[in-house]
Amino acid sequence: MQHPHTNPFVVTGAVKRIFRLLDSLRAQGCIEENDTNCLITGESGSGKSELVKQYAAKYPRRELSEYTHIPVLYVRLRSPQTAKAFTEQILVAMGDPQGGKGAKTKEKGFDLIRNFCLECGVELIILDEVQTVIQNRSPGVIASISDWFKDLMNDTKVPVVMVGMPWCRSFVEENDQLDTRIGYRYYLETFRVSSQFSYFIRFLELFSKNYEFDSDFSLTDTEMAYRLFAYSSGVIRATTGQILRAKILASASDKKMGLSFFQEAIRIRGIKDGNNVFIMPIKDIRLREIVNPSQWVQQKSYRKERFRSAQFKSYMLTGKLELIECNDD
């Protein structure tokens, strides 16, 4: 049973395409020395982790009479510092009775993973939060880390889906042998206000279709949609999080959702009304959309920042809700 305050999952066109791809990868299996692996990237909050979790949930592990069937293995990586720790985290996710401690070496770890994949009928491995493996590492260490993923693909003979921040793509492309094994690459874009804003409004409609609103309030009203975009910059997690907070406040008051609950959801975060996008005059709000994703920046020293944040473009609205490009000032 879904928790009453759990965000509903919206199946967009992009989600459907990726789900179909993952289905096809599972069906065809791994082709020796071929590019039957996938990379899914997106900014923080773009919905990439929720997407693969939802996919894995469609094919849950089953305890059968003779073995545990795991058609889709979901692994959330947590900054493994060594190849051995990398294999341990995968083994723990598989339900290894020894919690991965039986892998005394990385080679033994990969052997155990391969055996478990065979015994449990694993058809797809999803590795989430890939960026945690390579953050704050020296170039030399990063070069060896790419081999962990390559060895996993080679040893298990199971298609692997890597999921992470946009700059994970550069990490893949810097290793030729890893690069050639990943034949499918998807970037989950955030919504934009300058073009195809109707997609954002449609998302709001689908997300909130089972919510109750005041009769004089509509989440998909153009001005309200602009205010939500001004708050979230089109990032799914920020958008849905704000809607959920307003819903919780409305439920606590035993009332239907309306603008006042969106305003209060900002106030309780310590933001003054003068900066509250649900109160400010529409001409004073600024809408920022991502125009360039976060990037990998080559540095000689690992002590220097290797990643550049996403770049934004700002817009303002006229009284007639016409969009005008502007500076952030």
Burial class (CB in 10 A: 0-12, 13-18, 19+), 117: buried
pLDDT on residue 17: 95
pLDDT on residue 303: 52
Ranges of residues in the chain whose predicted pLDDT is under 50? 1-3
pLDDT on residue 31: 65
pLDDT in tens, 268-280: 999 999 999 999 9
Domains of the chain and any CATH numbers: 13-188 (3.40.50.300), 197-281 (1.10.8), 287-326 (no CATH)
pLDDT on residue 309: 84
Nearest CA-CA partner of 325 in 195, 190, 188: 195
Q: Is the pTM of the predicted complex or chain greater than 0.85?
A: yes
Long-range contacts of residues 86-90, Cβ cutoff 8 Å, at least 24 apart: 86/133, 86/148, 87/112, 87/113, 90/125, 90/127, 90/152
DSSP collapsed to 3 states, 183-226 = EEEEEECCCCCCCCHHHHHHHHHHHCCCCCECCCCCCCCHHHHH
- AA identity, residue 114: R
Whole-angstrom distance, CA of residue 135 vs CA of residue 142 = 9
DSSP state of 81: -
pLDDT on residue 2: 47
pLDDT in tens, 54-67: 999 999 999 998 89
The helix (run of H) or strand (run of E) holding residue 246 is helix 236-252
